[in-house]
């Protein structure tokens, strides 16, 4: 059943459609727009941020990274037909991308799925360990954070955090894409395996950024799925 969802919608310059007050010269300074956007994020605590990047002057990746650094709120991107651009947005931290023109029913279904996944992550947080240890790093599932041996910190999206939690709870076991989809989405699984591959590749990239010890933790098992190839320990 659909649930009430609070969303914040912004353009690629952080302006809010219908909510901007121009300065006397008819324009609003970029830093003012950005400040207003993040103030609204803190005050309204939305379930989802929708970024309209259909006519983005830049590539949109920088905007997504800025949001990701300051908030863990899921990001839904409305973009053009360029599939490579949409994949870049997902790698940067977007939960999903919808190509324009946007079908209202499909848009609402994606919103509701994002909210369900995020709620699932929150509901499981009380049952999760305080942290996992593996390959000289610490994973804090409550906060979707991975901290390296040199104190470098990587922020994970909700989907990436759920995926890593599933891997570290089941090390050395082959995980089929169906099993990973179940861990991420429950019964609301995506239509293709490609959605799982995108999240796995995003997680791999972030783990590799922590150093040599984390470069090859997720192994691809041809035609079978993936395997987390490292011993793990739990701190409660």
Query: What is d(CA 100, CA 80) in angstroms, rounded to the nearest whole number?
Result: 6
| Contact by Cβ (8 Å): 21, 28 | yes
Same fold, 7-123 and 128-235: no
Element (H, E) at 132: strand 131-134
pLDDT at 229: 95
Query: What is d(CA 2, CA 115) in angstroms, rounded to the nearest whole number?
Result: 10
pTM: 0.57
Written as one string, the DSSP assignment of 23-53 is: -TTS---HHHHHHHHHHHHHHH--SEEEEE-
Residue-range domain boundaries for the chain: 7-123, 128-235
pLDDT at 125: 46
pLDDT at 89: 85
**Ramachandran assignment for 90, one of left (phi > 0), alpha (psi -120 to 50 degrees), beta (any other):** alpha
How many other C-beta atoms are found inside a 10 Å radius of the C-beta of residue 144? 21
pLDDT at 221: 92
Q: Find all residues with CB under 8 Å of 192, minimum gap 6, and list them.
A: none
Q: Find all residues with CB under 8 Å of 159, minimum gap 6, and list them.
A: 95, 117, 184, 199
CATH code reported for the domain at 7-123: 3.40.50.2300
Q: What is the pLDDT along the chain (236 residues), one digit of tens a residue?
A: 455 678 899 988 888 887 655 544 455 677 888 888 888 888 888 889 999 998 776 668 888 888 887 887 888 999 888 877 888 888 778 888 888 888 888 888 888 888 887 776 655 544 455 689 999 899 988 888 899 888 889 998 888 888 999 999 899 999 998 888 888 776 555 546 678 888 999 999 999 999 888 989 999 998 889 999 999 988 75
Query: What CATH architecture applies to the domain 128-235?
Result: Orthogonal Bundle (1.10)
DSSP helix/strand/coil, 231: coil
| Contact by Cβ (8 Å): 71, 157 | no
Query: What is d(CA 5, CA 107) in angstroms, rounded to the nearest whole number?
Result: 12
In this structure, what DSSP letter does residue 16 have? P
| Contact by Cβ (8 Å): 166, 175 | yes
Helix ranges restricted to H, 45-193: 61-70, 83-92, 104-125, 158-169, 177-185
């Amino acid at each position: 059943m659909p649930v009430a969802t609070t969303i914040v919608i912004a353009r690629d310059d952080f302006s809010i459609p219908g909510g901007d007050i121009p300065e006397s010269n008819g324009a609003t300074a970029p830093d003012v727009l950005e400040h207003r956007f993040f103030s609204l994020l803190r005050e309204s605590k939305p379930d989802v941020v929708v970024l309209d990047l259909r006519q983005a002057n830049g590539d949109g990746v920088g905007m997504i990274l800025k949001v990701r650094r300051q908030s863990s709120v899921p990001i839904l991107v409305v973009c053009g037909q360029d599939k490579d651009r949409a994949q870049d947005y997902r790698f940067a931290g977007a939960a999903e991308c919808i190509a324009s023109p946007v079908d209202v029913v499909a848009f609402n279904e994606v919103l509701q799925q994002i909210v369900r996944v995020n709620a699932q992550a929150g509901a499981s947080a009380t049952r999760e360990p305080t942290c996992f240890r593996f390959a000289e790093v610490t994973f804090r599932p409550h906060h979707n954070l991975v901290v390296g041996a040199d104190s470098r910190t990587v922020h994970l999206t909700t989907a990436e955090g759920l995926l890593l939690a599933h891997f570290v709870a089941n090390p050395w076991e082959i995980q089929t894409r169906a099993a990973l989809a179940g861990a991420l989405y429950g019964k609301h699984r995506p239509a293709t395996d490609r959605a799982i591959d995108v999240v796995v590749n995003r997680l791999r990239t972030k783990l590799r950024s922590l150093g040599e010890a984390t470069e090859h933790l997720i192994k691809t098992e041809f035609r079978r799925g993936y395997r987390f190839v490292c011993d793990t320990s739990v701190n409660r």
